[in-house]
Amino acid sequence: MRHRLLRSISLAVVFGLLVALLPSGAHADALDDLEAQIQRYETQLAQINAQQTSVRDQIAVTQDKIARLQAVLVQLNSQLLENNARLSQNQARLDDLVRREDVLTAQLQETQRRMEERQSAFASQVRVLDKVENRSPFSLLLTSHNFVQFVQRLTGIKQVADGTKQLAVQLRADRDLLAVQRAELDRARTEQAKAVATVEQARLVLQQEYGIQSTATFQLQALQARLGLQQAQLTSQANGVEAQIVSDEQQVQSLLAFSHGAGGDIVAPEFLSDGWGKYYNQRDARWGNVYLGRSPYQVWEIGCLLTSVAMVYSHFGFPNVTPGVIAANPANFTSGGLLYNSALNVP
């Protein structure tokens, strides 16, 4: 247990010394940090892209709804025009019926007035006729001064009887006319009631359709606003992440350019060792051009840490675990060239 603890302490001390003594390690750490950050941003961008796909689907659904609402609005506008035309027709018909009712009412009042006058005249004629009919022709003859007067009196009685009959006929005709006029007025009122009901129903339908149109318009505006907001948010997020990725990649390129200019790409193989172990250079021609796993980076660029790990391996009796061996194993690295913690577990 004590031996393992001393080994861990020694490993930590060696790592600290190597990082302090090798200036390229600072650049490697910075690159590692930037690569890790880029990877996080790429993950975030992938999530945003997935959200974009979802939002595009929602946009398609929303646009379909908008198209259907617009079709409904077109139908409603057509129906509103038709209802307005029907409403105008019904209103004109209602106005005609009102005028007809006024005319019929006036005619009915006039008929009733004439009927009352004729009823009064008929009653008077009936009373006269009753008096005349109670007298016998012989009595009329005896009371007449001459035959001419007798004939005149008989003729007068006949005229009274004929007038009474004529009044009775006229009265009956007036009553029949009054009944016809009343029936016509009742029909007109029935038609008027139907027309009023039709107008009111048309108005109700019109109001309902106006409500439907207002609701449809509100929904359309809400959908358009939500669509615009989603597009704006998505564009803002994507632009922000892409800008950050570009910035980090520029920093990576700057660090790589600095690394190229600081001491060349590759150096001749170096064989340095002492009692502690072997000392490796990450630019050594034996492994400087080896890529870190499946990443786009080579050992000479960001291989400071894995070179230090290889030196620690040599210290603990594993001289064959060179930087090239560690770099060639894809299981030791992320896709961005980051060294997994498992690769640091020196036996």
Q: What is the pLDDT of residues 211-265, one digit of tens each?
A: 887 788 788 788 878 888 887 888 888 888 888 888 877 776 766 665 555 445 6
Compute the distance between CA of residue 171 and CA of residue 2 in angstroms, rounded to an integer: 142
pLDDT value for 18: 43
Model's pTM, two decimal places?
A: 0.42
Q: In the beta sheet, which residues pair with residue 273?
A: 278
- Cβ neighbours for 191, distance < 8 A, ≥ 6 positions apart: 97
From the CB of residue 208, how many other CB atoms can be counted at a distance below 10 Å?
Answer: 10
- Spatial distance between the Cα atoms of 14 and 309, rounded to a whole number of angstroms: 9
Digitized pLDDT (tens) for each residue of the chain, 347 residues in all:
434 433 443 444 444 444 333 444 444 556 667 777 878 888 888 888 888 788 788 888 877 887 887 787 788 778 778 877 877 887 787 788 778 778 877 877 787 787 777 667 766 765 665 555 555 665 666 666 777 776 776 676 667 667 667 777 777 787 788 788 778 878 887 887 887 788 778 778 877 887 887 788 788 788 878 888 887 888 888 888 888 888 877 776 766 665 555 445 688 888 899 999 999 999 999 999 999 999 999 999 888 889 999 999 999 999 999 999 999 999 999 888 888 888 877 76
For the chain, the domains span 2-58+240-344
Query: What's the confidence (pLDDT) of residue 316?
Result: 93
| DSSP letters for 134-201 | TS-HHHHHHH-SSHHHHHHHHHHHHHHHHHHHHHHHHHHHHHHHHHHHHHHHHHHHHHHHHHHHHHHH
Q: Per residue in 282-295, pLDDT tens?
A: 999 999 999 999 99
Q: Which residues contact 66 (CB under 8 A, 6 or more apart)?
A: 220, 223, 224
Q: What is the pLDDT of residue 318?
A: 93
- Which of 300, 320, 301 lies closest to 310 in space, CA to CA? 320
Give the DSSP H or E segment for 279. strand 278-279
Measured CA to CA in angstroms, residue 147 lies from 137, 153, 155 at distances of 12, 10, 12
